[in-house]
Structure 1
Amino acid sequence: MGPGVTCPWSGRLPRLQVRTWIEPVVASTQVAASLYDTGLLLVLKASFGGGGSSNHSASPSPRGALEDQQQRAISNFYIIYNLVVGLTPLLSAYGLGWLSDRYHRKISICVSLLGFLLSRLGLLLKVLLDWPVEMLYGAAALNGLCGGFSAFWSGVMALGSLGSSEGRRSVRLILIDLILGLAGFCGSMASGHLFKQMAGHSGQGLILTACSVSCATFALFYSLLVLKVPESVAKPSKELPSVDTVSGTVGTYRTLDPDQLDKQSVVGHLPSPGKAKPPKTILALLFVGAIIYDLAVVGTVDVLPLFVLREPLKWNQVQVGYGMAAGYTIFITSFLGVLVFSRCFQDTTMIMIGMVSFGSGALLLAFVKETYMFYIARAVMMFALIPITTIRSAMSKLIKGSSYGKVFVILQLSLALTGVVTSTMYNKIYQLTMETFVGTCFALSSFLSFLAIIPIGIVAYKQVPWSQYGGIAEK
């Protein structure tokens, strides 16, 4: 590859090409998000009587009844909050994606980061001025009306795809996920300590929320003033004659090596140059698998913060931060897993490995009684990020670059919409079962995760005719 390659992970780059890297925006945004998530949970705990000074007042209610009441109050808040966060982007995210495709790639990123900053300011004002927690619904609505995470992440995926060749795109996208995970891990590890820096009813959490606002501000101004849209680095047709992009869908990442593509183009006999039409049934099955698996993941993530605050774990602020940081380690282990598994497994096999990993970990979570058991369950989930990332990167090779914004937004909005339904369902199930079997939601997530293997398994079965498009590359 020549020096003009825009991917920041291969080769020597001209100085100005550094401005095309999306990683600083992703890292600063995720640090702000991880600080915010911990801060929101702990602020709610204090506001609903679990961590404030009012907790020491005399009360005729038994301790267990107060804890259950607090859990229901926090759960009910999250039901409405997640509905607002999930539904409001439906009004604007697709329009932002269309504008990004038509006018400028940074539109969806910059507008969504503005809403992101406003929502973080909302939590800061709640802590500083002791406003009621209901005002956070309005802050979440502002974030959603500006596109929310759906618009932001679709913009990030579009820039990441444009700044890499098709041969390197899968690795490029999972590297962005790796940066996201590392930033979230660092933010979560520090969050509990930052929350305790100021004592008092109105001061606790002030430094944490201020740091979150600062990181969000940096991300917005960096995207506005520094970030540049990379030029497409797709290889000319004369270098890659008749290369069908379906080869990257079920083939391993080894087959996406540009050095292998020329060999495949000589050996394969493809019907026509350019992008061939992908099998609709394959795309539909991949989509169904992603939706079912996302239901399992979202449900577990939504219930987990409530689970660690009550018996039998009953964590403090620092332990909550550490627990959230443990969730981000899957970005690292999933990245390493892709690098290793891609040398000997097909994409569908890697997806199923990730689903089995998460399903097994969720089943262990259902029976957690001690803190060490929680971390064992988290360790079993080490490959949980592989399925969605692999499916997304495969789909990116089946669409034209001019449609990235719209298609990625549609995919992200579909996941967000199903996530809203899942969040409401899981929170209600948690409220109904927390006194009988608190791990019911995790057991359900485990079932859904294993259920998602079925459509992916059908894809694996149907992939046999795809060998003509490039299976496992020969050494």
Structure 2
Amino acid sequence: MSPEATCPRRCPWPRLQVWTWVEPVVASTQVAASLYDAGLLLVVKASFGAGAASNHSASPSPRGAPEDEQQRAISNFYIIYNLVVGLTPLLTAYGLGWLSDRYHRKISICVSLLGFVLSRLGLLLKLLLDWPVEVLYGAAALSGLCGGFSAFWSGVMSLGSLGCSEGRRSVRLILIDLILGLAGFCGSMASGHLFKQMVGGSRQGLVLTACSVSCAACALLYSLLVLRVPESMAKHSKAPPAVDTVSGTVGTYRTLDPDELDKPSVVEHPPSPGKAKPPKTIIALLFVGAILYDLAVTGTVDVIPLFVLREPLSWNQVQLGYGMAAGYTIFITSFLGVLVFSRCFRDTTMIMIGMVSFGSGALLLAFVKETYMFYIARAIMLFALIPITTIRSAMSKLIKGSSYGKVFVILQLSLTLTGVLTSTMYNKIYQLTMDKFVGTCFALSSFLSFLAMVPIGIVAYKQASQLQYGDITET
């Protein structure tokens, strides 16, 4: 007897081998990122805190003026820093995505991880050598020139999409996001305690930064020496399904899938106007919805650290770490939400549920006065991660597997570019309104989140029309 006959379950195992899992890279990278983000904010606050105190010690100032000046200094630093982080990947990220599609899927991941290590080394050297805070702009530029998060995450999404079928892709991608969230939660919870290991002087935060560098280096070594590219599930499919089997997706994406155009259909029907349309319109609407929603999320994420450091919350290092960890709990709740909602809702419905969740939480965040209110607002945002991940999953069902790297990196670069503009705009709005109504930015984010539902609703209407027409033709 052949080995296949004696061990019928042996065939699928090569696709499930541990070294094809990208989750360890995601987890280690996110722990490093959460430690770095907290350390960067606290180091920048300490750097500008000394300057603010000296500038106002010689002359009397109104109550709260030193804190406002410090807030403006930190905000201005992040405006330039986010511009560098967001714009420099535009020079290299698409090229890395193209190289990944043409030569090797790991190129964008490995090169971007090298940039992450260099940027965290920049913060470490700043603490060790007492360099000026402006040196961190150069560290951010190095990371961006290596592709930054845009190249890294597009590479991760490509590997995640290749290693599973369309029917499990939404769950697979949200599972990667879950790993990201759990790692970020652990890193944020520990960040405040690690930052306080060395008290006083310019080297406070040295232990925290060293841990961040170590985690980033581990991720780079794992991706170089251990990680392998999984085989595409498309190669193992014998025939195209007559109806899409995606959990929670009613109807078929078959007529919108470019991979299916060259395959014979099980039941041939004359081409209809609705089915002959290319998916460009739907992809464009998904892009618009993703960008509008990302504007809302990015603006909120950029303003929250400044918001919690000033009155009325005035958090310390440990409270800041706990608050950042609370933001990562949405990765867990969003994962559970996808598992439940995908059984009875379409992708577009799940996207809109997430947008409503975030918009409602951002609106409540605008009126937060106490710490417990902040955590209530965060709890309302429990499904905020579903939209972007589900949009990526929906796009992957409409394009060829050989184009994943380019399409995902274009989407990520679009989100990054709009995020840069949003960061600048929100920081300026925050500076202008923090004395009048500090929650203005959160109210604006709530409006944008609800506005992003419009293009997604159009996609849902188009898909429903196509399904209805398909049912008529089949009968």
The reply to whether TM is greater than 0.5 is yes
CA distance in 1, matches of 2:269, 2:180: 40
Q: In 1, are the aligned partners of 2:15 and 2:231 still within 8 Å (CA)? A: no
CA distance in 2, matches of 1:43, 1:201: 11
Aligned to 2:339: 339
CA distance in 2, matches of 1:23, 1:267: 40
CA distance in 2, matches of 1:270, 1:47: 69
CA distance in 2, matches of 1:181, 1:104: 27
Q: How far 1:168 sits from its partner (Å)?
A: 1.5
> Secondary structure in 1 aligned to 2:403?
helix
Question: Is residue 148 from structure 1 mapped to residue 156 from structure 2 by the alignment?
Answer: no
Question: Is residue 252 from structure 1 mapped to residue 248 from structure 2 by the alignment?
Answer: yes
Question: Is residue 323 from structure 1 mapped to residue 323 from structure 2 by the alignment?
Answer: yes
* 1:76-97 CA distance string (max 9 Å, x none): 0000000000000000000001
Equivalent position amino acid for 1:88 in 2: T
- The number of aligned residues is 451
CA distance in 2, matches of 1:291, 1:194: 35
Sequence identity (%) = 85
Equivalent position amino acid for 2:151 in 1: A
CA distance in 1, matches of 2:23, 2:328: 16
Change beyond 3 A, Cα 1:224–1:469: farther
- How do 1:68-147 and structure 2 match up within 5 A? 68-147=68-147
CA distance in 2, matches of 1:55, 1:379: 40
Equivalent position amino acid for 2:423 in 1: S
Change beyond 3 A, Cα 1:318–1:270: farther
Aligned to 2:403: 403
* RMSD, matched Cα: 2.7
Aligned to 1:371: 371
> Secondary structure in 1 aligned to 2:234?
coil
- How do 1:156-167 and structure 2 match up within 5 A? 156-167=156-167
Q: How far 1:328 sits from its partner (Å)?
A: 0.4
Equivalent position amino acid for 1:377 in 2: A
Instruction: Say which is worse superposed, 122-131 or 367-376, in terms of deviation.
Output: 122-131
CA distance in 2, matches of 1:92, 1:270: 45
Equivalent position amino acid for 1:353 in 2: I
Instruction: Say which is worse superposed, 231-240 or 136-145, in terms of deviation.
Output: 231-240
Q: In 1, are the aligned partners of 2:22 and 2:227 still within 8 Å (CA)? A: yes
Q: In 2, are the aligned partners of 1:296 and 1:448 still within 8 Å (CA)? A: yes
Change beyond 3 A, Cα 1:168–1:132: same
Q: How far 1:341 sits from its partner (Å)?
A: 1.3
Which runs of no fewer than 5 residues in structure 1 stay unpaired?
6-12, 257-264
CA distance in 2, matches of 1:399, 1:108: 20
- How do 1:17-416 and structure 2 match up within 5 A? 17-49=17-49, 60-234=60-234, 236=236, 238-241=238-241, 252=248, 278-416=278-416
CA distance in 1, matches of 2:277, 2:271: 11
* 1:82-131 CA distance string (max 9 Å, x none): 00000000000000011111111111000000001000001111112111
Equivalent position amino acid for 2:431 in 1: Q
**What is the TM-score normalised by the length of structure 2?**
0.89
Equivalent position amino acid for 1:112 in 2: S
* 1:178-199 CA distance string (max 9 Å, x none): 1000000000000011000111
* 1:307-348 CA distance string (max 9 Å, x none): 000000000000000000000000000111111112222221
Instruction: Say which is worse superposed, 42-51 or 222-231, in terms of deviation.
Output: 42-51
Q: How far 1:36 sits from its partner (Å)?
A: 0.4
Q: In 2, are the aligned partners of 1:166 and 1:234 still within 8 Å (CA)? A: no
Instruction: Say which is worse superposed, 195-204 or 115-124, in terms of deviation.
Output: 195-204
Q: How far 1:15 sits from its partner (Å)?
A: 10
Q: How far 1:62 sits from its partner (Å)?
A: 4.3
Change beyond 3 A, Cα 1:268–1:373: farther
Q: In 2, are the aligned partners of 1:270 and 1:469 still within 8 Å (CA)? A: no
Which runs of no fewer than 5 residues in structure 2 stay unpaired?
1-7, 253-264
